[in-house]
Amino acid sequence: MYGDISNKLIQEARRAQGLDSLPAYATELVQNITREINEISRDSEALSEEYQKLLQAREDQEERDREFGGLNENGEELTNEELQQLSPEKERQLTCALVVLGLCTLRNKRCLMAYQRLRADLMDRMAWSEADPQDPATTQNMSPGEQDYFARYSELVIAHKGRFSEIDLTGPLEPPRDLFIDVRVLKDAGEIQTEYG
Protein backbone atom coordinates (compact mmCIF):
# COMPACT_ATOMS: atom_id res chain seq x y z
CA MET A 1 0.00 0.00 0.00
CA TYR A 2 1.30 3.43 -0.89
CA GLY A 3 2.58 5.41 2.09
CA ASP A 4 3.38 2.47 4.39
CA ILE A 5 7.12 2.85 3.96
CA SER A 6 6.97 6.59 4.61
CA ASN A 7 5.03 5.86 7.82
CA LYS A 8 7.93 3.68 8.97
CA LEU A 9 10.35 6.50 8.19
CA ILE A 10 8.28 8.99 10.20
CA GLN A 11 8.13 6.56 13.14
CA GLU A 12 11.90 6.29 13.03
CA ALA A 13 12.17 10.08 12.93
CA ARG A 14 9.88 10.37 15.97
CA ARG A 15 12.08 7.96 17.89
CA ALA A 16 15.15 10.01 16.99
CA GLN A 17 13.54 13.33 17.88
CA GLY A 18 14.33 13.15 21.59
CA LEU A 19 17.88 11.87 21.18
CA ASP A 20 20.99 13.97 21.60
CA SER A 21 22.98 11.90 19.13
CA LEU A 22 22.20 11.23 15.51
CA PRO A 23 20.82 7.73 14.77
CA ALA A 24 21.96 5.77 11.72
CA TYR A 25 20.68 7.06 8.39
CA ALA A 26 17.73 4.98 7.16
CA THR A 27 19.18 4.41 3.69
CA GLU A 28 16.98 1.43 2.86
CA LEU A 29 13.74 3.20 3.80
CA VAL A 30 14.72 6.34 1.87
CA GLN A 31 15.60 4.28 -1.22
CA ASN A 32 12.33 2.33 -0.98
CA ILE A 33 10.32 5.55 -0.73
CA THR A 34 12.18 6.95 -3.74
CA ARG A 35 11.39 3.77 -5.69
CA GLU A 36 7.74 4.06 -4.67
CA ILE A 37 7.63 7.68 -5.86
CA ASN A 38 9.10 6.63 -9.22
CA GLU A 39 6.57 3.78 -9.49
CA ILE A 40 3.69 6.14 -8.71
CA SER A 41 5.04 8.55 -11.31
CA ARG A 42 5.04 5.82 -13.98
CA ASP A 43 1.49 4.80 -13.03
CA SER A 44 0.38 8.43 -13.17
CA GLU A 45 1.88 8.87 -16.62
CA ALA A 46 0.08 5.75 -17.89
CA LEU A 47 -3.24 6.94 -16.42
CA SER A 48 -2.66 10.41 -17.81
CA GLU A 49 -2.14 8.99 -21.30
CA GLU A 50 -5.31 6.92 -20.92
CA TYR A 51 -7.17 10.03 -19.77
CA GLN A 52 -5.92 11.99 -22.79
CA LYS A 53 -7.06 9.18 -25.10
CA LEU A 54 -10.48 9.23 -23.43
CA LEU A 55 -10.81 12.98 -23.96
CA GLN A 56 -9.68 12.63 -27.58
CA ALA A 57 -12.16 9.78 -28.16
CA ARG A 58 -14.95 11.87 -26.64
CA GLU A 59 -14.09 14.80 -28.92
CA ASP A 60 -14.02 12.47 -31.93
CA GLN A 61 -17.39 10.99 -30.93
CA GLU A 62 -18.96 14.42 -30.54
CA GLU A 63 -17.69 15.32 -33.99
CA ARG A 64 -19.12 12.07 -35.41
CA ASP A 65 -22.42 12.74 -33.65
CA ARG A 66 -22.65 16.03 -35.49
CA GLU A 67 -21.72 14.43 -38.81
CA PHE A 68 -23.30 10.96 -38.64
CA GLY A 69 -26.03 11.38 -36.02
CA GLY A 70 -24.63 9.14 -33.23
CA LEU A 71 -23.24 6.38 -35.44
CA ASN A 72 -19.61 5.32 -35.62
CA GLU A 73 -17.47 5.95 -38.70
CA ASN A 74 -18.79 2.72 -40.32
CA GLY A 75 -22.35 3.97 -40.08
CA GLU A 76 -23.20 1.44 -37.31
CA GLU A 77 -24.57 2.12 -33.85
CA LEU A 78 -22.02 2.31 -31.05
CA THR A 79 -21.43 -0.93 -29.13
CA ASN A 80 -21.74 -1.13 -25.33
CA GLU A 81 -17.96 -1.33 -25.07
CA GLU A 82 -17.54 1.87 -27.09
CA LEU A 83 -20.17 3.60 -24.95
CA GLN A 84 -18.47 2.48 -21.71
CA GLN A 85 -15.15 3.81 -22.96
CA LEU A 86 -16.75 7.24 -23.40
CA SER A 87 -18.84 7.25 -20.21
CA PRO A 88 -18.43 10.06 -17.66
CA GLU A 89 -17.94 7.35 -15.02
CA LYS A 90 -14.72 6.22 -16.71
CA GLU A 91 -13.50 9.83 -16.72
CA ARG A 92 -14.32 10.18 -12.99
CA GLN A 93 -12.44 6.94 -12.23
CA LEU A 94 -9.35 8.13 -14.08
CA THR A 95 -9.50 11.58 -12.49
CA CYS A 96 -9.88 10.10 -9.02
CA ALA A 97 -6.98 7.69 -9.57
CA LEU A 98 -4.75 10.53 -10.81
CA VAL A 99 -5.60 12.69 -7.79
CA VAL A 100 -4.95 9.84 -5.32
CA LEU A 101 -1.61 9.00 -6.94
CA GLY A 102 -0.61 12.66 -6.89
CA LEU A 103 -1.51 12.95 -3.21
CA CYS A 104 0.48 9.79 -2.42
CA THR A 105 3.51 11.26 -4.17
CA LEU A 106 3.20 14.54 -2.27
CA ARG A 107 2.83 12.73 1.05
CA ASN A 108 5.91 10.60 0.41
CA LYS A 109 7.92 13.69 -0.52
CA ARG A 110 6.73 15.53 2.60
CA CYS A 111 7.74 12.57 4.78
CA LEU A 112 11.20 12.48 3.19
CA MET A 113 11.63 16.22 3.68
CA ALA A 114 10.48 16.02 7.32
CA TYR A 115 12.99 13.23 7.98
CA GLN A 116 15.81 15.18 6.35
CA ARG A 117 14.80 18.36 8.22
CA LEU A 118 14.88 16.55 11.57
CA ARG A 119 18.35 15.20 10.85
CA ALA A 120 19.55 18.63 9.69
CA ASP A 121 18.26 20.21 12.92
CA LEU A 122 20.11 17.60 14.98
CA MET A 123 23.30 18.28 13.01
CA ASP A 124 22.84 22.02 13.54
CA ARG A 125 22.59 21.48 17.30
CA MET A 126 25.70 19.33 17.19
CA ALA A 127 27.59 22.04 15.29
CA TRP A 128 26.59 24.72 17.82
CA SER A 129 27.66 22.45 20.69
CA GLU A 130 31.08 22.31 18.99
CA ALA A 131 31.08 18.67 17.92
CA ASP A 132 34.11 17.87 15.78
CA PRO A 133 33.16 17.23 12.11
CA GLN A 134 36.43 15.30 11.63
CA ASP A 135 35.69 12.87 14.47
CA PRO A 136 34.54 9.49 13.08
CA ALA A 137 32.42 8.88 16.18
CA THR A 138 30.44 12.04 15.41
CA THR A 139 29.91 11.34 11.71
CA GLN A 140 29.57 7.55 11.69
CA ASN A 141 25.75 7.64 11.44
CA MET A 142 25.66 10.31 8.72
CA SER A 143 25.27 9.79 5.00
CA PRO A 144 28.06 11.25 2.79
CA GLY A 145 25.89 14.24 1.91
CA GLU A 146 25.13 14.84 5.57
CA GLN A 147 28.82 14.64 6.46
CA ASP A 148 29.54 17.34 3.88
CA TYR A 149 26.67 19.49 5.19
CA PHE A 150 27.82 19.06 8.79
CA ALA A 151 31.43 19.95 7.98
CA ARG A 152 30.44 23.09 6.06
CA TYR A 153 27.87 24.18 8.64
CA SER A 154 30.42 23.66 11.43
CA GLU A 155 32.88 25.88 9.54
CA LEU A 156 30.23 28.60 9.28
CA VAL A 157 29.42 28.36 12.99
CA ILE A 158 33.10 28.53 13.95
CA ALA A 159 33.65 31.54 11.66
CA HIS A 160 30.60 33.28 13.12
CA LYS A 161 31.62 32.55 16.71
CA GLY A 162 35.15 33.76 15.97
CA ARG A 163 33.96 37.30 15.32
CA PHE A 164 32.12 37.42 18.65
CA SER A 165 34.51 35.44 20.85
CA GLU A 166 33.65 37.37 24.03
CA ILE A 167 29.91 36.72 23.68
CA ASP A 168 28.24 33.39 24.42
CA LEU A 169 26.12 32.91 21.29
CA THR A 170 24.67 29.64 22.56
CA GLY A 171 23.00 31.32 25.55
CA PRO A 172 19.26 31.88 25.77
CA LEU A 173 17.82 34.55 23.51
CA GLU A 174 15.27 35.76 26.08
CA PRO A 175 16.45 38.20 28.75
CA PRO A 176 16.25 37.07 32.41
CA ARG A 177 13.01 37.88 34.24
CA ASP A 178 14.49 38.05 37.74
CA LEU A 179 14.75 41.49 39.33
CA PHE A 180 18.10 40.74 40.90
CA ILE A 181 20.46 38.81 38.71
CA ASP A 182 24.11 37.92 39.03
CA VAL A 183 26.28 39.49 36.39
CA ARG A 184 29.52 37.84 35.40
CA VAL A 185 32.15 40.27 34.20
CA LEU A 186 34.10 39.10 31.19
CA LYS A 187 36.30 42.16 30.79
CA ASP A 188 37.05 45.00 33.19
CA ALA A 189 35.56 48.18 31.77
CA GLY A 190 35.93 50.31 34.88
CA GLU A 191 33.04 51.70 36.84
CA ILE A 192 29.71 51.78 35.00
CA GLN A 193 26.69 53.81 36.01
CA THR A 194 23.36 52.14 35.18
CA GLU A 195 19.86 53.53 35.26
CA TYR A 196 19.29 52.20 38.77
CA GLY A 197 22.63 53.21 40.25
pLDDT in tens, 175-193: 777 777 777 777 887 887 7
Question: Model-level pTM greater than 0.85?
Answer: no
Confidence check: pLDDT of 70 > 60: no
Report the percentage of the chain scoring pLDDT > 70: 84
Give residue limits of the domains in the chain. 4-119
Q: What is the pLDDT of residue 78?
A: 54
Give the mean pLDDT of 70-80: 55
Q: What is the pLDDT of residue 84?
A: 57
pLDDT band at 66 (very low <50, low <70, confident <90, very high): low
119 CB-contact burial (10 Å; exposed 0-12 / middle 13-18 / buried 19+) = buried
* Out of 18-32, 86-100, 156-170, least confident range: 156-170
pLDDT in tens, 94-130: 889 999 999 999 999 999 999 999 999 989 988 888 8
* Out of 8-12, 76-80, 161-165, 178-182, least confident range: 76-80
Q: What is the pLDDT of residue 86?
A: 62
In three-state form (DSSP H/G/I as H, E/B as E, the rest C), the secondary structure along the chain is CCCHHHHHHHHHHHHHHCCCCCCCCCHHHHHHHHHHHHHHHHHHHHHHHHHHHHHHHHHHHHHHHHHHCCECCCCCECCHHHHHHCCHHHHHHHHHHHHHHHHHHHHHHHHHHHHHHHHHHHHHHHHHCCCCCCCHHHHCCCCHHHHHHHHHHHHHHHHHHHHCCCCCCCCCCCCCCCCCCCCCCCCCCCCCCCCCC
* Out of 3-12, 59-68, 131-140, least confident range: 59-68
Give the mean pLDDT of 45-61: 82
